[in-house]
Amino acid sequence: MSTEQKKGHVVAFAFPFGSHPTPLLHLVQRLAAAAPGVNFSYFNTAESNQKVLPTADLKSYDNIKAYDVEDGAPKGYVFSGNPLERIELFVKSTPDNFRRRLEEVVGETGLKASCLLTDAFLWFSVDMAAELGIPWVAFWTAGPAPISLHMYTDVIHSRLGQNGAAQNQDQTLDFLPGLSAIHASDLPHELLHLDQPFSRLLYDMSLALPRATAVVLNSFAGIDPDVETDLKSKLKKILNVGPSPPPPGIDQDGCLSWLSSHAAASIAYISFGTMLTPPPPELLALAEALEEKQIPYLWSFRDDSKRQLLQRFFEKTESVGKVVEWAPQTRILAHPSVGVFVTHCGWNSVVESIMGGVPMICRPFFGDQMINRRRVQDVWWIGVGVEGGVFTKSGMMTALDVVMSGGEGKKMRENIGRLRECASRAVAENGSSTENFESLVDIVTSSSHQ
Ligand code: UDP
């Protein structure tokens, strides 16, 4: 079917930082395959598109086109190194950058937008969609607990005091449905301090989400039942369509055959997602603990500025360790030789670890990561946080003992097994995520006939 003959035009707006753009693109690909009669446009900054598109094999889809939008950085701008700077410049350039590009694309193709499917952070889409008379479908790339916390920002502020800064950081949020395990200290900075542009964006998002036609999550029914029930009362439609893992990555460094030469559940897989490397003293502590415990490891490590620090460790442990710049993570976590995942608790990593049946050692840094650690450690019992919240040699050795050799590790694997079954039921034929995905296809397709 040629572009002209297709009905409808779903326009996806990405938030171009961290792991946000990739899951949205995968969702677009799933939808484009399920609705071949609809055109899909994927808007993202040039810099992010350059990273994301080469891994996506868009050539196989004749109904997806990707476009660049401006990132808000003035020409020749020199960044200070603070990651928030890029975000703030980008946020300032919204919504005009998306609006302009959309007008150009509609002008070029003659295809009016029939549905906006955007990262939930890009809350201005609700007004843009209303102006165009089309639905706004918001895609939330994290888990149910963090979205619920954002919906309760005002309540949290009023209960925890000025800027949500509770006197007692151990105070739990037992006044919120399903969130009693969360401590004040787990709350992300941007939820507590609303004076920053990025915090404001998230607050505005929490006000806009109840107006969304649907909110889509890469999660599954049953993982956080009380939170899900409460969210249903606040949003028009909540669609868990996961777990929907990314396409299996290419194993260019032979990680899988390396894993296959090791005993079951013997390897520590270490990765801190797309944005993070722990600070130098923590990297050294983690390395010393692995060496002392003689745990073979596979480490996804790309930070050249910190590589020198670990060079001696990498050389000394060459016979038991493997270091790669990028690992095919979902395939690694599904490999029986992996015994523990040392993670920053990004949502995708947590879900992938559950699907792989691997317990976690958690060292969260920011955003939703502390919330995810709390769920892993105190609600689902499928991992442990590192003692004191940062890597120390002794804390890491204790965590490795707990997860890899103790009876607790066995219990964690059983608990993960139950969550994994729940996830597998959700994505099976007639499962809740499968049915939710069909509802999403309906929303996208029926809006295309307007
Ligand atoms: N990832 C990967 N290989 C790596 C490091 C990361 O495939 O070497 C993928 C991982 O599978 C996950 C994503 O990158 O899907 C990281 O997302 P997450 O939400 O865990 O963390 P973020 O990058 O947003 O902090």
Query: What is the SS3 assignment for 418?
Result: helix
Query: pTM, whole model, 2 decimals?
Result: 0.95
**pLDDT 10s digits, 106-124:** 999 999 999 999 999 999 9
* Class of residue 279 by CB neighbours under 10 A (exposed 0-12, middle 13-18, buried 19+): exposed
Catalytic residue (choose from 9, 20, 335, 344) = 20
pLDDT interval class at 78 (50, 70, 90): confident
Average pLDDT over residues 60-87: 91
> Is 367 close to ligand 1, i.e. is its CB under 6 Å away?
no
> Is 218 close to ligand 1, i.e. is its CB under 6 Å away?
no
pLDDT interval class at 439 (50, 70, 90): very high
User: In this predicted structure, what is the pLDDT of residue 162?
Assistant: 66
ipTM of the complex: 1.00
Ligand 1 atom at minimal distance to the Cα of residue 23: 15
User: By percentage, how much of the chain surpasses pLDDT 70?
Assistant: 96
**pLDDT 10s digits, 257-300:** 999 999 999 999 999 999 999 999 999 999 999 999 999 999 99
User: Among 51-60, 134-143, 176-185, whose mean pLDDT is lowest?
Assistant: 51-60
Average pLDDT over residues 333-349: 97
User: Among 57-66, 187-196, 361-370, 391-400, whose mean pLDDT is lowest?
Assistant: 187-196
User: In this predicted structure, what is the pLDDT of residue 396?
Assistant: 98
Q: Which of 274, 298, 343, 366 to mutate to test the pocket of ligand 1 (most atoms within 8 A of CB)?
A: 274
Average pLDDT over residues 196-214: 96
User: In this predicted structure, what is the pLDDT of residue 5?
Assistant: 56
* Residue 125 predicted with pLDDT over 90: yes
Contacts by 5-8, CB closer than 8 A, 24 or more apart: 6/36, 6/37, 6/38, 6/39, 6/63, 7/37, 7/38, 7/448, 7/449, 8/37, 8/38, 8/39, 8/114, 8/115, 8/444, 8/445, 8/447, 8/448, 8/449
Q: How far is the CA of 122 from the centre of ligand 1 (A)?
A: 21
User: In this predicted structure, what is the pLDDT of residue 48?
Assistant: 97
**pLDDT 10s digits, 315-329:** 999 999 999 999 999
Q: Please say whether the beta carbons of 292 and 397 come within 8 A.
A: yes
User: In this predicted structure, what is the pLDDT of residue 302?
Assistant: 94
**Is position 20 annotated as part of the catalytic site?**
yes
**Is position 253 annotated as part of the catalytic site?**
no
Q: How far is the CA of 361 from the centre of ligand 1 (A)?
A: 16
Q: Name the residue at shortest CA distance from atom 18 of ligand 1.
A: 346
> For residue 259, what are its two tokens?
């894993």
Tell me what the pLDDT averaged over the chain comes to: 94
